[in-house]
């Protein structure tokens, strides 16, 4: 089965997963969560070797572990912390992965990078100002996580200026949706409940992982995405 077929299956399965709570099948939705990322893991596994393949697999693996751990976050705080650590490692791996991707230009648009940096820093300090007073004993770990995911977004932004298009836009969009997903989760948990938060967290997260994986595979010409 070609990688592209599995990616399409991931999207179909994800839509089914996201719709289940709206028809009263929350329990089925809960049990299906661990089956989301294996679609992407298999997609990468069957793709031809490329620079960063092991990094991408490792990032997805830690994300998958984080998905499973966070399923029990309502049972005890330790599950949230362990899930945070797992996704922290995933983001660090994405940072390394993005920094090693092939470039089509030695230098990107400096004005675009400058504006992107301002927006990213604005997001970081805005989230810190909003959430910090509400974090209690989790102030340090959450701030470390926020710094890492902000760095991931910056590296994606910088890389998108030198990577081949349109794969570059896919990876950057994936990084943005990942940050959006984590932001919704953090605001919902620490600041104020958000209506249908589970749907918004998972829909942006599912899209983020899809865009990053498909973008990385397209950026590396040897991948079997056709």
Full domain range(s) for residue 98: 3-219
Tell me whether residue 153 is in a domain. Answer: yes
Q: Structure pTM?
A: 0.92
Tell me whether residue 83 is in a domain. Answer: yes
Q: What is the pLDDT of residue 224?
A: 43
Tell me whether residue 226 is in a domain. Answer: no
Name the pLDDT band for 222 (thresholds 50, 70, 90). Answer: low
**pLDDT, tens digit (0-9, with 9 covering 90-100), for 169-219:** 999 999 999 999 999 999 999 999 999 999 999 999 999 999 999 999 999
Question: 39 near 15, Cβ under 8 Å?
Answer: no
Tell me whether residue 137 is in a domain. Answer: yes
Q: How many domains does the chain have?
A: 1
Tell me whether residue 225 is in a domain. Answer: no
Tell me whether residue 224 is in a domain. Answer: no
**pLDDT, tens digit (0-9, with 9 covering 90-100), for 77-120:** 999 999 999 999 999 999 999 999 988 876 667 888 889 999 99
**pLDDT, tens digit (0-9, with 9 covering 90-100), for 31-59:** 999 999 999 999 999 998 998 999 999 99
Tell me whether residue 90 is in a domain. Answer: yes
């Amino acid at each position: 089965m070609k990688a592209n077929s599995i990616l399409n299956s991931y999207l179909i399965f994800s839509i089914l997963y996201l719709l289940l709570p709206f028809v009263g099948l929350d329990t089925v939705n809960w049990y299906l969560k661990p089956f989301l990322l294996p679609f992407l893991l298999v997609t990468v596994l069957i793709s031809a070797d490329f620079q960063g393949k092991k990094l991408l697999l490792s990032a997805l693996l830690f994300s998958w572990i984080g998905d499973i751990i966070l399923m029990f976050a309502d049972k005890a705080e330790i599950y949230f912390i362990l899930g945070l650590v797992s996704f922290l490692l995933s983001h660090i791996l994405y940072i390394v992965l993005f920094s090693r991707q092939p470039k089509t230009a030695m230098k990107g648009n400096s004005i675009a990078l400058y504006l992107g940096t301002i927006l990213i820093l604005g997001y970081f300090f805005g989230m810190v100002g909003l959430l910090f007073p509400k974090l209690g004993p989790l102030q340090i770990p959450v701030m470390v996580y926020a710094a890492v995911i902000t760095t991931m977004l910056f590296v994606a932004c910088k890389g998108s200026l030198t990577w081949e298009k349109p794969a570059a836009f896919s990876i950057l969009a994936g990084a943005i949706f990942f940050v959006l997903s984590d932001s919704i989760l953090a605001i919902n948990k620490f600041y104020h409940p958000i209506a249908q938060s589970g749907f918004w967290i998972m829909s942006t997260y599912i899209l983020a992982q899809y865009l990053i994986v498909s973008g990385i595979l397209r950026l590396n010409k040897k991948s079997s995405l056709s």
